[in-house]
Amino acid sequence: MTQTSREEKKAKVIEVLNKARAMELHAIGQYMNQHYALDDMDFGELAAQMKLIAIDEMRHAEMFAERVKELGGEPTTEPADNVERGQAVDVIFGFDTELEDGALAEYNAFLAVCLACGDSLSAKLFDDVIDEEQAHYNYFDNVAGHIKTLGAAFLAQKAGTSSATGLNTQGFVARKAAPPTPA
C-alpha cells in the first residue's frame, strides 16, 4: 500500500468520525434543551432520563474527538443541525426516536467506511456507540408509544415526579448497566 492511499484512508476515517461528532454535538444541545423543557413542565422523571441520555451523548462526542486526535485530525466543534426549541411533550419523544434512528443508520454506514479503510479500532468505537444509540432509541420509542396510546393517563403518572439524578451522575446506559446497589 502506498503512503498516499494510507493517508487518504486515514482522512476518510477522520471525516466520518467528525460527522459523527457533529451529530453528537447536535444531540447534546437538543436533549439538554428538552431536559430543561420537561423539567419546566414538571415531568421530573422524563427530564431526569433525558439529562442522562444527554450525558451519554457527551461521552460519545469525547470518544469520537479522542479518536480523531489519535489519527492526527482536528475534532469539529460544529453541531450537525440546529436545536428545535419549544416542542410539546407529545412531540419530543417521537422526534428523538427519529434522531436516534438516523444516527443508527449513519453510524452503521460509518462503521463500514472504517472497515473498508482497515481501521478496526474506529470500527469498534462505532460498534460500541451503536449499542448505546439502540438503547436510547428503545427508550424514546417506548415513551413515544405510551404517550400515543395512554396519553394523559401516562403523563399523569410522570407529573410531579423527581428530576433528581444524584451526585456523580452517570449516563443513561452506564446507569442501566450498573449492578444493583446492595441493600
74 is in an annotated binding site: no
Q: How far is the CB of 24 from Fe ion (least distance, A)?
A: 5
Give the CA dihedral 121, 122, 124, 130, nearest 10 degrees: 170
Max Cα–Cα distance, the chain, nearest Å? 64
Of positions 46, 49, 57, 113, contacts Fe ion by CB under 5 A: 57
- The C-alpha cell at 27 is 444531540
Is 136 among the annotated ligand-binding positions? yes
For residue 182, give the C-alpha cell: 446492595
# of chain residues touching Fe ion (CB under 5 A): 5
Q: Quick one: which of 21, 26, 51, 60 contacts Fe ion (CB under 5 A)?
A: 60
Our separate counts of H helices and E strands in the chain read: 6, 0
Residues 135-154 that bind Fe ion (CB under 5 A): 136
Tell which one of 110, 133, 139, 163 touches Fe ion (CB under 5 A): 133
Q: Is the dihedral of CA 62, 67, 70, 76 positive or negative?
A: negative
Q: Is 132 a known ligand-binding residue?
A: no
Beta carbon nearer to Fe ion, 57 or 106: 57
Q: Does the annotation place 146 within a ligand binding site?
A: no
CB 38 within 8 A of CB 92: yes
106 part of the interface to Fe ion, by CB under 5 A: no
Can you give the binding site for Fe ion, defined by CB under 5 A? Answer: 24, 57, 60, 133, 136
